[in-house]
Amino acid sequence: MSIHEYVSKGAPESAHWIGVVTDTPNSTQARLAASGLEWEVEKTIIGLEMLFLVRLPEPSSEGFLSLGPEVLHAIRDGHGAVIERPTSFLDAISLSQGKSLDEATAATFANTDARAVEGALENMPEGPVRELVRVYLESISVVQSQHGIRGNGERTLKFISHFWELGDAGVTERFLQVLPKITGRGAASGGLERSAKQRPQFEARLSALECRVRLRR
């Protein structure tokens, strides 16, 4: 069962409220808004870190412990798609009709292949799917900026569509794996080191907060 199937087939009467701590609240909120899960913002903890409360339904055919953690990783870290690939939406993006974006509000880095897609994204209907696609673009744009990957957006759009099920962070990690073929240089690194190093800290916080939330609910 995939993560988005888990969400759609869950049994509400067997739901668990879980605390999700993140230092990327905008990305987490975009994933939650698209997922269809019930959620709320609890509070800002320290600096940019924020606590979300998320209600995870337990599927009747499969236990919470087997897929619950995977759903949390998808929501918090972007490892795994929270919805099925929005094929019709992605296919409708016209790269030849992209808009120029204000640097102050753009999610992607300038002069990257992903920026071309984000410019075209502005012509698409507003909503949670559009903002979720933007999260995918923002993540992959970091690597493209570091390695000078420019273009008309075609490569990025195809890559995201093909590897959508990996989630936004998973797509970026996959892009790092194929980057040597694109650039003709050695293996890339550094793009996601910070999140990897911080994950154990978040796991510890998550466990503690989950206990507190369950005591409260």
* pLDDT single digits (tens) 119-175: 999 999 999 999 999 999 999 999 999 999 999 999 999 999 999 999 999 999 999
CA distances for 112 relative to 46, 75, 147, angstroms: 32, 26, 9
Q: How confident is the model at residue 197 (pLDDT cuts 50, 70, 90)?
A: very low
Q: Residue holding tokens 């050695």?
A: 186
Q: How confident is the model at residue 176 (pLDDT cuts 50, 70, 90)?
A: very high
CA distance 110 to 101: 9
For residue 19 the two structure tokens come to 């605390």
Pairing of strands 10-22, 38-44: unpaired
CA distance 195 to 76: 11
For residue 131 the two structure tokens come to 């903002």
Q: Residue holding tokens 């668990």?
A: 16
Look up residue 76 and give its DSSP letter: H
User: Within 13 Å, how many C-alpha atoms sit on residue 29's CB side?
Assistant: 11
Name the helix (H) or strand (E) containing 40: strand 38-44
Among 7-11, 71-75, 164-168, 213-217, the range of highest mean pLDDT? 164-168
Among 64-68, 139-143, 189-193, the range of highest mean pLDDT? 139-143
**Position 115 pLDDT exceeds 50:** yes
The predicted structure's pLDDT at residue 154? 96
User: Within 13 Å, how many C-alpha atoms sit on residue 36's CB side?
Assistant: 14
CB-based contact 186:171 (threshold 8 Å): no
The predicted structure's pLDDT at residue 184? 77
Among 26-35, 52-61, 196-205, the range of highest mean pLDDT? 26-35
Percentage of the chain modeled with pLDDT above 90 = 47
